[in-house]
Amino acid sequence: MKKILLVATGGTIASQETGEGLAPEISAQGLLDFVPEIGRSFHVDSVEPFRLDSTNLTPTHWRLIAQCVRDNYVNYDGFVITHGTDTLAYTAAALSYMVRGSPKPIVLTGAQKPIGVDSTDSKVNLRDAFLCAASDMPGVSIVFDHKVILGTRAKKTRSKSFSAFSSINYPDLGVIRDGSVVRFIRQECLSEPEFSTRLCEGVALLKLIPGTDREVLDFLFERNEAVVIESFGVGGLPEAGGFYECIREWRGRGKLAVVTTQVENEGSDIGVYHVGHRLKSGLGVLEAYDMTTEAVIAKLMWILGRTSDQNLVRQMFYTPVAMDMFPR
């Protein structure tokens, strides 16, 4: 019988109506009580580092989850982390870097409806997550609506439907079908995981809209070590308004700029148009290519938590981790 550790962190799956909206009220053991067959199929222990709506999570909470996995790693065959869906993709990406190359499954799941309501997806997702955690599916993944999605490639693409998550620019790792894990891809892993919980939280995100003022970008650079700019299409910046000068000035002060796209699929290619070509050739910005925004943010925090050397940062950013980007 496989030994699985349940790391419960709150979210919709553990929520109940409070009179002022849903809030996570159900304990880790309470979740297991709703699905007793899990306890009959696996040896399960549980920990609850916190109980929060995932909107309230910060990188400090990512560290707590990673520490739970690290402190218990040798004692279990796999890990199930229950989590709110709204920031689940950020946590999955962060754990992919903080617990790099895990040969054991680290599976995140949640639900669109609380486990105590009749029409919930919670029980199915929880059962599927335990099946995956007991399988030969290494690394960090999200199990949701019978799909197994790579942790660095997941994005919440539906706000209410049970099929809430999609794998962006990468196939699903597998599916859960008739009580079994059907694996399509087995991600590479190390013989032992590399744990690293140091994060630099000085990373900001700017989503461009037509007419964005340069002062917004100046504000973010002043307060952060790196700014990720979600641009339009394949990527670029408005030629008017001083954006290029802004980036040149802040790059000269050692700040990082990363350009990605607001378009979910197919990624960036900033050299295609004149509005993007200079960014890469003359200003030394990093390009996210096919990475999700969630992975870009988490990877930058992880890299900057390890080094501030600009050349090493660039090298680490473009080195794929857990297939977060296709090799360049």
List pLDDT tens digits, range 228-285.
Answer: 999 999 999 998 889 999 999 999 999 999 999 999 999 999 988 888 888 877 888 9
What is the band of 26 on the pLDDT scale with cuts at 50, 70, 90?
Answer: very high
Query: What number is the average pLDDT over the span 97-103?
Result: 98
118, pLDDT greater than 80: yes
CATH fold of 3-195: Rossmann fold (3.40.50)
Token pair listed for 199: 């994060």
**Dihedral sign (CA 118, 121, 122, 123):** positive
pLDDT value at position 273? 84
Q: What is the pLDDT of residues 296-309, one digit of tens each?
A: 999 999 999 999 99
Query: What number is the average pLDDT over the span 118-123?
Result: 96
pLDDT value at position 240? 83
Query: What number is the average pLDDT over the span 95-110?
Result: 98
What is the band of 289 on the pLDDT scale with cuts at 50, 70, 90?
Answer: very high
216, pLDDT greater than 90: yes
In the chain, ranges of CATH 3.40.50.40 domains? 203-317
In the chain, the N- to C-terminal Cα span, in Å, equals: 42
What is the band of 87 on the pLDDT scale with cuts at 50, 70, 90?
Answer: very high
115, pLDDT greater than 80: yes
Q: What is the pLDDT of residues 151-180, one digit of tens each?
A: 999 999 999 999 999 999 999 999 999 999
In the chain, ranges of CATH 3.40.50.1170 domains? 3-195
Chain-wide mean pLDDT for the chain? 96
pLDDT value at position 81? 98
The torsion of the CA quartet 276, 318, 67, 128, rounded to 10 degrees, works out to 80
pLDDT value at position 55? 97
Is the pTM here over 0.85, yes or no? yes
310: alpha, beta or left? (left if phi > 0; alpha if psi -120 to 50): alpha
Q: Name the catalytic one among 9, 12, 91, 260.
A: 12
Q: Which CATH number fits domain 203-317: 3.40.50.150, 3.40.640.10, 3.40.50.2000, 3.40.50.40?
A: 3.40.50.40
How many CB atoms are located within 10 Å of the residue 213 CB? Answer: 11
pLDDT value at position 146? 98
Query: What number is the average pLDDT over the span 100-129?
Result: 97
pLDDT value at position 211? 93
293 has catalytic annotation: no
